[in-house]
Homo-oligomer: A and B are copies of this chain.
Amino acid sequence: MAEVSASLMARIQDLAGERSLAIKPILVGSAARGTWLANDHDLDIFLGVAPGDNLAAALEVARAVAPQHEEKYAEHAYVHARVDGYDVDLVPCYLVAAAADLQSAVDRTPFHAKYVSSRIQGREDEVLLLKQFMKGVGVYGSELKVGGFSGYLAELLILFYGSFAEVLQAAGSWRPGQRLDPEGHGTAKHIEPLIVVDPVDPGRNVAAALTLDKMLLFVCACRAFLAGPDVDFFSPQRPDPLSDEQLSLLLEARGTLPILIDFEAPPVVEDVLYPQLRKAEESISALLERSGFSVMRSDIASYRDRALLLFEMEVWLLPAAARRMGPPVWEAEHLARFLAAHPMPLSGPYIREGKAVVEEPRAYPLAPDLLKAKLFGLSLGRHLGPALRRGYDIYCGREILQIKDEGFRTFLAGFFEARLRIGLL
């Protein structure tokens, strides 16, 4: 890893020299400080330019370093390439004087690298234990798909508490709202469940991407491990894909109706895709619930080039008659509009708890019909809306058996089982 990174950095300097550009290559991330996990083959090299300089020229250099590359985009464009078995990210950034001056989130990374490198020596193994533990229990990764702990956050926890064991001991009694401020310089209020003030940026919460449920899963895991330490905690559990027969039996035993919306994923990175999938999931659940249906559970996923929204329905069929609540009857104008809009009810109008009520024929007694009719009226996300408009399939109940993809069947296994490691909770 040292060889590969050294050679890449030399190549950056050569190419910059040829073009008379001032570019400083910086190795960041776990590779820079000896805290990478055995199966990680990620190399993050930043191409630093002075704040006034041209970021596009640095991107050009990155492209030239790895002719076989893929261009990606977070806040800025960057280059991803596979070099000698390593996943290399080449990221242009500004070399600002202090973290407070940063122009983009990536400009902060060199400060993190510097802060951790100078303090972590001798405790790299503690970091590795903690990272692998987090990976094993399913809370490692700050990407939005996971909503877990970043590597930097794991390192800060080791620096703050001292060791793997001490982190577990302390985290076992965390509650939502827990706040850590290693440098005692926090300046902002945060609403996230865990707040770890960034040592290099007093206004930032390093744990901002951590969701409540991933935080609490970690809390439970810490307690469970201390109560009964086991090497198994360090191995991620991945369910086996469901066979047709297993899936059939599951559907029968549950008696629910899965409704699956399956479509071609828009060509964006997961950090862009997943928040939009979550947003669509919420919009659709809200539509179903306010129409009288009931969603037992829902989830989102992507597999191959597909994205999906899954709703497991507890109530998906409603009677022909639907109740519609109107305004308080003393609001004469609202009332008149409401009554004009419902001239031929099945029952009513009558007054209930002060409000006008009518009962009328239900437009969509079946949840999938409602979904098809109302989907494009919902707020679906910038890339997801167009992707769905290009076409989608709805699978109801046993129709999901038609999708044989292993990634999909593994997702379903996790969805229906939904069981945390025995003894973890």
Interface residues of A (CB under 8 A from B): 173-176, 212-213, 216-217, 219-220, 223, 253-257, 292, 294, 296-297, 314-315, 318-321, 323, 329-330, 332, 335, 339, 345-354, 356, 359, 365, 416-420, 425
Is the CB–CB distance between B255 and A365 below 8 Å? yes
- Could you say which residues of chain B place their CB within 8 Å of the CB of A348? 418-420
For A175, what are the chain B residues with a Cβ–Cβ distance below 8 Å? 330
User: Are B219 and A321 interface neighbours, CB within 8 A?
Assistant: no
Partner of A425, one of B216, B256, B323, B339: B339
Task: State whether A347 and B425 are in contact (beta carbons under 8 Å apart), knowing that A321-B253, A352-B213 are contacts in the complex.
Answer: no
CB <8 Å contact, B253 and A346:
yes
Distance of A296 Cα from B348 Cα, bound (Å): 13
Q: A175-B330, A318-B315, A320-B254 are in contact. Are A418 and B213 (CB under 8 A)?
A: no
Taking a contact as CB atoms closer than 8 A, the residue among B257, B351, B419 that contacts A220 in the complex is: B351
Chain B residue with Cβ nearest A350: B418
Classify the secondary structure of A's interface with B.
mixed
Alpha-carbon distance A339/B296, docked complex (angstroms) = 20
Can you identify 14 A-B contacts, CB atoms within 8 angstroms?
A212-B353, A213-B352, A213-B353, A223-B332, A255-B320, A255-B365, A256-B319, A292-B315, A294-B315, A315-B318, A347-B418, A348-B419, A349-B419, A350-B420
A216 and B255 contacting across the interface, CB-CB below 8 Å: no
State how many angstroms separate the Cβ of A87 from the closest Cβ of chain B: 31
Contact (A425, B220) CB under 8 Å given A292-B294, A346-B253, A347-B416: no
Complex CA distance for A297 and B321, rounded to whole angstroms = 11
Give Cα A213–Cα B328 distance, bound, in whole angstroms.
Answer: 11
Q: Are A314 and B292 in contact (CB under 8 A)?
A: yes
Contact, CB under 8 Å: A351 / B420:
yes
Point out the residues of chain B lying under 8 angstroms from A220, CB to CB: 329, 351
Separation of A418 and B347 alpha carbons in the complex (Å)? 6
Given known A-B contacts A255-B320, A332-B223, A176 and B354 have beta carbons under 8 A apart: yes
How far is B281's CA from A18's CA once the two chains are assembled, in angstroms?
Answer: 85
Please report the C-alpha to C-alpha distance between residue A359 and residue B297 in the assembled complex, in whole angstroms: 10
Interchain CB contact under 8 A, A329 and B254: no
Across the two chains, which residue of chain B brings its CB closest to A174? B330
A319 touching B254, Cβ below 8 Å: yes
Q: CA–CA, A292 to B353, complex, Å?
A: 22
A347 CA / B417 CA spacing, docked (Å): 5
Which residues of B are found within 8 Å of A318, using beta-carbon distances?
Answer: 314-315
Q: Which of B216, B256, B294, B314 interacts with A329 by CB under 8 Å?
A: B216
Residues of B contacting A176 in the complex (Cβ-Cβ under 8 angstroms): 330, 354
The residues of B that contact A329 with a CB separation of less than 8 Å are 216, 219-220, 425
